[in-house]
Amino acid sequence: MHVIYTGELVRLRPFHNMEEWLAIQREPEFYMSPFWGPFNWPEPALRSSFSNEGQLGLDGSSSFAIERLDSGELIGIEDYGPLSNGRLATWLGTCIVARHQGLGFGREAKLLNLCFLFENFPLESVFADTTGEHSRARAGLEACGFSHCGDYRACHWKAGRLIDVPNFQVMRRDWERMEIRKKLKRG
């Protein structure tokens, strides 16, 4: 199984250790999203979810470190969510530290994660979502080959009101035609 994927801008790789994983989660620009709101978890819960084989989210998801190639700086986390025998679909999520957003890093990280997921698991589709207000994230998903496939209506509480969460999907057959598959380095 390939666990390091390198594109033109970023590398997806396992975290070196728990401290590196926790450091990005402590970054204020990482966990204070203007669209999702604050999303931070107590450090003891994060520590207990980290395993020797990698890092796990509190819901059984897994994560890659997103590393800038030009500076070697850790700039975010690329999640994917729990994989089990017999499942034909999973989800992915990208969180980039705010000062690194808008530079193409998140889009490439998503594409690299799609390659990891479709090359290593018998999946037929991968899902992602964003808030209805986050037009840049929506554009990023569509630029990565995701298609809008429905909405979770009034399901996210933010600033005293419920907002919609659009859901997006990319199918294996669509991924198989993507140029990124020819450009990336696997290791």
Across all residues in the chain, what is the average pLDDT? 82
For residue 142, the model assigns a pLDDT of: 93
For residue 54, the model assigns a pLDDT of: 54
Q: Is the pLDDT of residue 53 over 60?
A: no
Residue 157: which pLDDT band, with cuts at 50, 70 and 90?
low
CA 102/CA 97 separation, integer angstroms: 10
127, burial (CB in 10 Å: exposed 0-12, middle 13-18, buried 19+) = middle
Q: Could you read off the pLDDT of 109-144 as tens digits, one per residue?
A: 999 999 999 999 999 999 998 876 767 888 999 999
The residue with greater pLDDT, 82 or 177, is: 177
For residue 3, the model assigns a pLDDT of: 84
CA 14/CA 23 separation, integer angstroms: 14
Domain range holding 26? 5-186
CATH of the domain at 40: 3.40.630.30
For residue 65, the model assigns a pLDDT of: 94
169 HSE (CA, 13 A, CB side)? 12
Q: Could you read off the pLDDT of 71-87 as tens digits, one per residue?
A: 999 999 998 987 766 67
Structural domain count of the chain: 1
